[in-house]
Amino acid sequence: MKILLIGANGQLGSDLVREQEQYLSGAEISTLRRADLDVTSFEAMTAVLARSEFDILINCTSYTRVDDAEAHASEAVRVNAQAPVRMASACRAKGVRFVHVSTDYVFDGQISRPYVEADSPAPLNVYGASKFLGETLVRHEYAQGSLIMRVASLFGAAGASGKGGNFVETILRIAKEKGEVRVVTDAHMSPTGTLDAARVILSLIRSGAAPGMYHVVNSGEATWYEFAQEIIRRAGLPARVIPITSKEFAAAAVRPCYSVLNNQKAQAITGRIPSWEDALARYLKSKGHMA
Ligand SMILES: NC(=O)c1ccc[n+]([C@@H]2O[C@H](COP(=O)([O-])OP(=O)(O)OC[C@H]3O[C@@H](n4cnc5c(N)ncnc54)[C@H](OP(=O)(O)O)[C@@H]3O)[C@@H](O)[C@H]2O)c1
């Protein structure tokens, strides 16, 4: 099996590269970074994909800066929707699988149970809208060969290249610098380690999972405040975590107050997905942050 991975140096992409050999032994992986291919150079990308040989294309590229996207909608749409639909088209022409990654921010949070794949998106911000457009166009172009993996609130060893780090590292840095950290308590989500997300995605590929939508998140849920408390507690830092509201935080982009994803569909295929607390403990240990 030949895999082509675009966005290989991102937070999720780098863990897919790292885990691929163990989860898809015998597969051959080729990687492309932005320096090799700008996915918004549509003609160049189409040409590269047409001449490359692969059985599966995995797209880990994304415009991920949620707040910046508010003022850069066309750039977000180019990366998150116009590029993926062309990737889907290239995969359709070759008759190969396309694995695309999306987000919990396609939802508006007006619900009181974890979102299942069949729930209707209604994004609240430009980033979410661009990702939803990407999902929609990919499904329209190549539903019969595309697997869309919705992930959420990622933390991984590489740190999100688009955001220059991740929530865990930001909390640790502020806690060490200031002795206290203010975190929103009115947004519930699914904290997810990229290592586990990568493993689930690779397991779904290995199992020959049917095309369609999959929620790929660690089990459990938390508010950002609870997530921060657990980070500080496990790192053994003497810092205070102060609850604030999203209104007080005043980010440029509105976020859903509830975007927990139900991962039962993926778990039924891959087996139990670890809790976010477990993923966090392994992450902190691997980075030398444990108390
Ligand atoms: N991070 C989160 O908390 C989160 C939450 C929900 C969903 N997701 C989704 O999960 C996926 C992976 O996210 P991540 O955290 O791994 O993001 P990331 O670290 O920011 O990685 C994004 C990748 O896209 C590449 N990229 C961006 N624009 C490009 C372009 N025009 N041409 C080529 N490459 C380009 C980046 O390259 P450079 O390094 O050169 O910029 C980087 O390799 C994305 O689909 C994202 O929407 C993430």
What are the DSSP calls for 78-124, one per residue? IIIIIHHHHHHHHHHHHT-EEEEEEEGGGS----SSPBPTTSPP--S
pLDDT > 70 in the chain, percent: 99
From first CA to last CA, the distance across the chain in angstroms is 42
A 10 A CB-CB count for 270 gives: 21
* Ligand 1 centroid distance, CA of 6 (Å): 10
Give the pLDDT score at 161.
Answer: 65
Segments of the chain scoring below 50 in pLDDT: none
pTM of structure: 0.97
Query: In one letter, which amino acid is 85?
Result: V
Cβ 39 under 6 angstroms from ligand 1: yes
DSSP structure class, residue 70: T
- Give the residue, by CA position, lying nearest to ligand 1 atom 42: 10
Cβ 16 under 6 angstroms from ligand 1: no
Ligand 1 atom nearest 13 alpha carbon? 16
Give the pLDDT score at 151.
Answer: 98
* Ligand 1 centroid distance, CA of 15 (Å): 12
Give the pLDDT score at 229.
Answer: 98
- Supply angle C-alpha 263, 266, 272, rounded to 5: 80
- Give the residue, by CA position, lying nearest to ligand 1 atom 39: 161
Cβ 130 under 6 angstroms from ligand 1: no
In terms of Cα–Cα distance, which of 269, 110, 118 is closest to 199?
269
* Ligand 1 centroid distance, CA of 122 (Å): 22
Ligand 1 atom nearest 12 alpha carbon? 16
Cβ 161 under 6 angstroms from ligand 1: yes
- Give the residue, by CA position, lying nearest to ligand 1 atom 2: 154
Domains in the chain, ordered, with CATH? 2-159+191-218 (3.40.50.720)
Helix (H, G, I), strand (E, B) or coil at 17: helix
* Ligand 1 centroid distance, CA of 245 (Å): 27
* Ligand 1 centroid distance, CA of 65 (Å): 9
Is residue 115 among the annotated active site residues? no
**Do 221 and 190 contact (CB within 8 A), yes or no?**
yes
* DSSP H helical ranges for 224-290: 224-235, 246-249, 264-270, 276-286
In terms of Cα–Cα distance, which of 11, 59, 18 is closest to 37?
59
Give the pLDDT score at 159.
Answer: 83
- Supply angle C-alpha 23, 148, 76, rounded to 5: 115
Give the pLDDT score at 114.
Answer: 98
**Active-site residue among 23, 63, 105, 127?**
127
